[in-house]
Amino acid sequence: MQTADDFIEHLALEQHVEGGYYRSSYRSETSFDSTRALWSSIYFLLRTDEVSHFHRLTADEMWYFQAGQSLTIYMIDPEGVLTTAQLGLDLAAGERPQFLVPKGCIFGSALNHAGFSLVGCMVSPGFTFDDFELFSQESLLEQYPQHSEIIQRLSRKQTEV
């Protein structure tokens, strides 16, 4: 049975600023515009007690479950509504093997059970860090106090960002 460390080592994953580990796996050779590929894809891995901190992209992001434990994707839409999606293979429990996070949502993720989760994420147009915004706990609590419990879990204090 493969472990999180096996995937980190063999896929040459690096720590991600949003939490967890990642590595670019593909960038389209076709251009979207002068700065971005048409699409790009990464491996992304979370381990027990790690989360993907709340962030926002300017492009849609499709998530694909690949190995390990299921996870929950938490999304705050532009109107401030919090929704969740279960990414995994237990279809009877409401999990799905892929899910689209719409552009403009503030989102993060966390494991549903101890272990690890390896997912793939595809972004179109292709990802650049110019399209990425990481949120502090303070800024989110000010905007969305009704979601304080999940914001405290999936964000860092401003001094940690």
- Express each pLDDT in 46-87 by its tens digit: 999 999 999 999 999 999 999 999 999 999 999 999 999 999
Mean pLDDT confidence for 16-22:
97
Q: What is the pTM of this model?
A: 0.95
**Sign of torsion over alpha carbons 28, 38, 44, 134:** positive
Judge whether 154 and 110 are in contact, CB under 8 Å.
yes
Between CA 161 and CA 150 the distance in angstroms is 17
Strand order across the 106-111 sheet: 82-87, 71-76, 106-111, 51-57, 132-134
Confidence of residue 158 (pLDDT cuts 50, 70, 90): confident
- β-pair type (40-47, 21-27): antiparallel
Would you state the pLDDT for residue 1? Answer: 84
Between CA 46 and CA 69 the distance in angstroms is 10
Would you state the pLDDT for residue 160? Answer: 65
C-alpha radius of gyration, the chain, whole number? 15
How many other β-carbons are positioned within 10 Å of the β-carbon of residue 99? 17
Confidence of residue 101 (pLDDT cuts 50, 70, 90): very high
